[in-house]
Structure 1
């Protein structure tokens, strides 16, 4: 299958066995993108969890549990990330496609 830009998508049977597993392990071990290339995980922060594992989070996003100072202000900031006009345009476009 080809995309509009001419690139070809790999079909599942073309992907080497175990390739998906090794890529997933690289992401969760923190070694993905060890080169200088930018990827979705290159900017993440890693936190230690109660089960002994480390998990990636967006930079600057911290725990929002009760008792953490600044929790309400942080939550308000996340809520303001939605622009009503953009959301309305998105919903209108979706409805046109869904009802077509």
Structure 2
């Protein structure tokens, strides 16, 4: 395939991944609650307040990180740096909250 022509998947379906991650992150961020129901078993895990918002921020930064794969030049470098730094920061903060046992579960 020539360099100038991109396939249908790359051109039209490729941007849906970062958009869906961002939409999901915004939904969790504004709703303030996230419930995970595993496929097997009766238990559920519900994240409330700060923990759900950290998850929403993580999803947004993950969307920025995935966007870096689809752009080029300086935009790719900035998207990669911002997305990676934000995602790692959210994981570190949430991990610290889990280790200190101050995470909020319902």
TM-score relative to the length of structure 2:
0.27
Structure with higher RCO (Cα < 8 A, 6+ apart): 2
Q: Greater Rg, structure 1 or structure 2?
A: 1
More helix by share: 2
